[in-house]
């Protein structure tokens, strides 16, 4: 069994080059599935994400998402150096982003950059491959309409998982499915937009020069209002962000009335990951759209 530093050295040697010397390693983030390590080396600092998910390619999909984001917006996105598997570890090595203080134009630039991202389009909703949101599989089978994609590949898989794991009752599952006719026509007709997919405040960090950097994406082509709704679910985004976004891509009227429907997806994600503390929020939205 390798020692931790030996693993870190092997990551650097395989993904950067055999000439790289590891100087130090420090833990900067730890979650239920991943650890984030700052590797200081003779070639500078790197960020290593590492996990033990033997049957999942979460980090490969994350790397794909980062590369796609980087090519689709002027916002900062960490450069990807590579992915791989060492011993029992899955690894993703990226640029290390030193953090600083917000500059005065931070929120405006974030809004403009997200609008720039959302202008990237494709004919169908979805993606050419499945990926993950956190540790949960995110199905991306392409569909012609947002309603079909949203119901079949966002709501139904996680609703079924919640029922299978006994987080919801059969009665509530049927009640939830009963809102589909009510929500079918509430979404504005728009082209598919490239989404970050997991846009909460923890997935946007200020760089050393105080500008926004996007991390931890769960990308797909969806309705652009999904990202906006997700950003409002847990708060943390300044009003200047929304004003700047709408200066490029104004939201259609009555967005606030649709916002809860979009957020059924992230709430189902949290229900499946963290338990029934998130169920009341789902129940309130479902009640509002129950006929």
Catalytic residues: 198
Q: What percent helix, strand, coil does the chain show, rounded to 5?
A: 45, 20, 35
DSSP letters, 135-201, are TEEE----BSSHHHHHIIIIIHHHHHHHHHTTSS-HHHHHHHHTTHHHHTT-S-----EEE-S--SG
Q: Does an H or E element contain 245, and which?
A: helix 239-248
- As given in the structure block, the two tokens for residue 248 are 């490029």
- As given in the structure block, the two tokens for residue 44 are 């500078």
- Residue 72 near residue 219, CB atoms below 8 Å: no
Residue 193, strand partner residues:
121, 222
- Residue 49 near residue 62, CB atoms below 8 Å: yes
Residue 223 DSSP SS3: coil
Taking alpha carbons only, the member of 54, 52, 19 closest to residue 34 is 52
């Amino acid at each position: 069994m390798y020692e931790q530093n030996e693993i870190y050295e092997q990551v650097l040697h395989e993904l950067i080059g055999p000439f790289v010397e590891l100087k130090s390693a420090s833990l900067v983030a730890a979650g239920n599935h991943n650890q984030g390590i700052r590797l200081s080396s003779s070639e500078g600092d790197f960020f290593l994400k590492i996990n033990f998910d033997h049957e999942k390619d979460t980090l490969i999909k994350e790397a794909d998402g980062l590369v796609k984001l980087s090519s689709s917006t002027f916002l900062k996105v960490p450069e990807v150096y590579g992915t791989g598997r060492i011993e029992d570890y899955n690894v993703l090595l990226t640029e290390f982003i030193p953090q600083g203080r917000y500059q005065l134009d931070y929120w405006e630039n974030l809004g403009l950059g997200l609008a720039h991202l959302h202008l990237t389009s494709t004919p169908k909703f979805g993606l050419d491959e499945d990926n993950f949101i956190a540790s949960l599989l995110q199905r991306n089978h392409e569909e012609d309409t947002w309603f079909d994609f949203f119901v079949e590949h966002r709501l139904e898989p996680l609703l079924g998982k919640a029922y299978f794991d006994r987080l919801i009752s059969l009665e509530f599952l049927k009640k939830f499915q009963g809102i589909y006719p009510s929500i079918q026509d509430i979404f504005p007709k728009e082209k598919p937009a490239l989404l970050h997919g997991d846009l909460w405040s923890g997935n946007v960090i200020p760089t050393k020069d105080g500008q926004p950097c996007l991390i931890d994406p769960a990308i797909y082509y969806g309705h652009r209002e999904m990202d906006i709704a997700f950003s409002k679910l847990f708060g943390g985004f300044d009003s200047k962000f929304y004003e700047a976004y709408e200066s490029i891509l104004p939201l259609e009227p009555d967005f606030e009335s649709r916002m809860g429907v979009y957020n059924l997806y992230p709430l189902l994600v949290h229900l499946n990951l963290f338990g029934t503390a998130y169920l009341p929020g789902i129940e309130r939205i479902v009640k509002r759209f129950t006929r």
